[in-house]
Chain A
Amino acid sequence: MTRRVQIFFGILFTLSPCATNAQHSKGLLSIGFNHYVDSVKLKLDTAIYKNEFGQTYNISNFKYYISNIELISETGKIVYLKEYFLINEDIETSKKVILSSIPKGKYTSIRFMIGVDSLHNCKGAQSGALDPVNAMFWTWNTGYIFMKLEGKSSASTATGKTIEYHIGGYKEPANCIRTVTLNFDSPLTITLKQTSDIQIRVNAAEVLKTPTAIDFSKLPTVNDSKNATLIADNYIDMFSIGK
């Protein structure tokens, strides 16, 4: 081998280790979650809203898990991102998530799970978003709470006029794992140069309506598998593309 060829190979190996190569063909995506109650921005504690029955209520806590995110490309290829995020209205930073290692290209839709898959419900002690310190975990009947909506309503028949919907459960017949697919208005482009951005609008009022309108005097709380799927079927349509 001539010295020139040796140098050539040397440079080649230095410049292209696998990791660098992989990073170079992949981009970043930022997803913003914007919380609303119907047409107005969600404001914890102080704002008063009305449900389908005209009963007034406020919201003091609104949080939920997003996991198993998939991006579907123009050619139908699916990019799967094994990540878990706890979106919490009260924590500003939680409402913007950054996904990395997305292959460059054009994507037409996004699909994600509201909640935590059964495997991770059975996995024992975990950290990060799935740490039980986040208070989204049932200890007496193991499992993650997928969505929490709490507040008060004068119409509530529960102690302290509370309204409280803690929804979770990964086992049939009370399986509350729901998957949402959102189509982009125009294809989302992932480039290597800059972070792409999508905004998702989340209407918390949907927890309490369509298909089942919740009457606070009849169902002020849901804390276990009873009626849980009813609420999960309600909130499945709370997501849409938009700011």
Chain B
Amino acid sequence: MNKKGTIVLLITLSIFLISFIRKLDNSFSKKDVELKIPKGFPKPNYDFSENPLSPGKFELGRKLFYDPILSKDSSTSCESCHQRVAAFAHIDHALSHGIDSKIGTRNVPAIQNMIWRDTYMWDGGVNNLEIQPLNPITSPIEMNETLPNIILKLKANKGYSALFKKIYKDTVINSERILKSLAQFTGLMISANSRYDKYKAGKDTFSIQEKNGLVLFKAKCSSCHKEPLFTDNSYRNNGILPDTSLNDIGRGKITNLETDNYKFKVPSLRNIEMTFPYMHDGRYKKLKEVLNHYSSSNHNATTDAEIKKIGELNDRERKDIIAFLLTLTDKEFLSDKRFTDPNRK
């Protein structure tokens, strides 16, 4: 082999080796962390220009999301309650489970399309995606940890101190960096590739039942569960009677307005097949029960006017709507490798 040939071979080998090491290293490429606004989606409320997306920060966010180091006794991570297979809700758990087997007061919401939300939590008490993790982290019944403690633990951890140094080129570990990296990870959890989306784009077909379901959905449900995000980001009293053991007044606690009592954020219906049980307190296990509730006529005085308008739905109509709702499952999102646990291969 001549000299030129040897050099070409060496370069090829090193490129191969570098890409192989990168894979082992769990690193992401710039393309992995590009923000792509799905067709038909509005302008996001969360502005990444103040938190520029980078492979390193996204990787740090993922590592933190899956790490119980964020809880007081290293027992509970974000993922303990926000599971990928359930669109980051907690499958088959009505109320959130926290540290020391403590039970919370609300159903774990899914994490998807967060950058289009204007507020976070069932009561909308949080005004910015970056701030949201402070609630579960500091809640005594969830992760029961403090920010100063987390910073101490991360500083003492070789993996983290190296990762922060790699990203920021200095040794500072502070809450802003922690929270912004988590926001990069959760902010890129975008679900827009369900069968519904493909049908809309003319790339998939619906059965007659699914088509009927969509027509009914538009007439009966979409004033609150507005397409394409399947929420209008409002707070409403959906008419379920308050659970007296929880006595959760929802939005009213945030605004101190009596008229806001028992109102909760309208959740998105994307991936609803996977996010059971339903409602803010997880009282219904099956979509059938949810449909039964909305089509019943015995609502109370404070039930939202839009819900009172739904009226009686017959058995076939309920089944059609459910068939349509199942088209909102986004298998690509649910199996997206970028959001998998970095510790499991």
Contacts and interface: CB of A to CB of B under 8 A. Distances in A.
Query: Is the interface on chain B under 10, 10 to 19, 20 to 34, or 35 or more residues?
Result: 20 to 34
Nearest to A142: B127
Nearest to B174: A127
Contacts of B50: 123-124
A225 interface: yes
A219 interface: no
A124 B147 CA distance: 15
B335 interface: no
Contact of B179 (A122, A124, A226): A124
B256 A139 contact: no
A132 B135 CA distance: 12
Main secondary structure of the interface of A (DSSP, over half): loop
Contacts, number: 61
A143 B148 CA distance: 19
Interface string A190-226: 0000000000000000000000000000000000111
Interface residues of A, number: 20
B70 interface: no
A230 B129 CA distance: 31
Contacts of A81: none
A133 B175 CA distance: 7
A126 interface: yes
B176 A142 contact: no
A131 interface: yes
Given A139-B134, A140-B135, A125 B180 contact: yes
Contact of B126 (A123, A139, A174): A139
B313 interface: no
Interface in B5-50: 50
A125 B135 contact: no
Contact of B128 (A122, A131, A224): A122
A126 B174 CA distance: 9
29 contacts: A121-B127, A122-B128, A124-B128, A124-B131, A124-B179, A124-B183, A125-B130, A125-B131, A125-B175, A125-B178, A125-B180, A125-B183, A127-B174, A127-B175, A131-B174, A131-B176, A132-B147, A133-B148, A133-B151, A133-B174, A139-B126, A139-B131, A139-B134, A139-B135, A140-B135, A141-B254, A142-B127, A225-B256, A226-B256
Interface of A: 121-127, 131-133, 137, 139-143, 174, 224-226
